[in-house]
Amino acid sequence: MNTNLKFEQEEKGKGAALLRVFGDVTIHTSPQLREKLKPLLTASMKEVYVALDHVDFMDSSGIATLVEGLQWARMTGGRFVLSGLSENVRDVFELAKLDTVFEIEEGPA
């Protein structure tokens, strides 16, 4: 089991950032995702996009980390957008009814 995630981060304009995630987001790797998201979720960052098109599996701890990100963004009045959900990841979001809570864009960011 790979316990490391890889990330690519880029600016999408003033006050907007994109974080691409590579690997499976599990109880072992979700702290890495949290640490990458934290600096992006500030009052000066109005939009945070998280591209999940290279994530084939996500467990409940990964979902919880993304819920935290959504809560942080809402506290600062920002947007938190997910994109590129694989079929497996989308199924988890739909089963938990989180597809109606998150802003989800189709296809890769």
For the entire predicted model, the pTM comes to: 0.91
Angle at 66 between CA 49 and CA 70, to 5 degrees: 70
- What is the mean predicted confidence (pLDDT) over 5-10? 95
List, for residues 20-40, the tens digit of each pLDDT value.
Answer: 999 999 999 999 999 999 999
Which tokens go with 58?
């996500």
Strands 103-105 and 79-83: parallel
Question: What CATH number is given to the structural domain containing 11?
Answer: 3.30.750.24
Higher per-residue pLDDT: 67 or 13 = 67
Total domain count, the chain: 1
Domain coverage including residue 58:
6-105
* 88 occurs within a structural domain: yes
Q: Select from 18, 87, 97 the least CA-distant residue to 57.
A: 87
